[in-house]
Structure 1
Amino acid sequence: MQASLNSSPNASTGTTPHRLMYGIDLRMPWNLLRQAFVGHPASERQDADECAKYAAMIMKKDYDNRHKPIFFSKGDIVYLKLATGTDSGYVLPSRAVTKKMTQRYVKCKVLERIGRLAYKLQFPKELSKCHPVVSI
C-alpha cells in the first residue's frame, strides 16, 4: 500500500507532517487493519474455525435428512401434483375456477425411467396433450 504524503516522514525534518501539525501520527486504514489481526491469540481463530466446521456439519446433516433419493420402477403407480389456482404446471381442462375446489393430484403409471430424475408417465385421458416426461 502506498502511504499518503502527510503520513510519510520528510527527509529534512525526519518526521511526518501530521506529527508536526498535530503532535501525533494519525491512524491510517492499513494500521487499523493490521491491528485487527495482530494481538489476537491463535486460539480464538482456531475456535472460530471449529465453530464454522461444526455449523457446516450440522447443515449437511439437516440437508441429507430432508433430501432422500426417490426411485420408481416400471409399472409403479405415482401421484402427479397438479397446479392449483392460476399457478403454472399440469392442469386439468375441466378444473374448477377456485383454488380451493381444484383437483390436486392425478394417478399416473410409470412407463420408464428416462434420466436420473426424469420419468415417462402414462397420463389419464384429460392430460393426453401434456408432455409425458416429468422431472421429480
Structure 2
Amino acid sequence: TIQTLEDMLRACAIDFGKGWANHLPLVEFSYNNKYHASIKAAPFEALYGRKCCSPVYWTEVGEAQILGPELIQETTEKIVQIKQRMQAARDQQKSYADLKRKPMEFQVEDKVMLKVTPWKGVVRFGKRGNLNPRYVGPFKVLERVGDVVYKLDLPEELSRVHNTFHVSNLKKCHADEPLAVSLDGLHFDDKLHFVEEPSH
C-alpha cells in the first residue's frame, strides 16, 4: 500500500541519513521480491511468471568471485535490513485497524513514543515532507490519569509541553535505544510542533 511504501521510505531516510536516495534501488528490489498476500506472490514473480534471479543469490552457486564477495555481502545485509523494515511497516499496517477500534493500554514504567507534528514547508532532520519522523522518544509512563490519558516523564527539552497525553498521541516502543529519535537541534512549542534549529 501507499502507507507501507511511505513507512519504508521514512525508515530508509532515518537508517541511511543523507545517502538514503542511493538505497532506493534496494528498497525497490526488496519490495518487488517480497511476497504480497493480496496477489499471492511477489510483484516481480506475478509480472514475469518467475522468481527474480539476482547477483545477491549467486553466492549459492559459487559465482560470488565474479562481482566480489564484499559487494554481495554488503548488498545482502542492506536488503535484509530493508526487508525487516518492510515487515515492521506491514505489521504496523495490519494492527492499524485494531488500534482504531480499541484504544491502546499502557502500564506504569512502559516506554512509549510521542507523536509530534512538523511545521508545514520547513526542512526538518535534513529531510522534507512525509519522510520526517512522526514520533520522538521513548519516554516512560508515570501514571494512567484516565481511561485514555497518560502522564509521561519528559526530558528538560520538552519542559514547555504539558506532560499528559491522550492515548492516540502515543505508541508502544519496542526498542531499548535511549532515544529512537533524538531531540538534539529541535525545539517544540506547547502543541508539540517542532522545527530544526538552524546550524550556526
Normalised TM-score (structure 2): 0.28
Task: Tell me which of the two structures has the higher relative contact order, counting C-alpha pairs closer than 8 angstroms and 6 or more residues apart.
Answer: 2
Bigger radius of gyration, 1 or 2? 1
Normalised TM-score (structure 1): 0.40
User: Which protein has the bigger helix share?
Assistant: 2
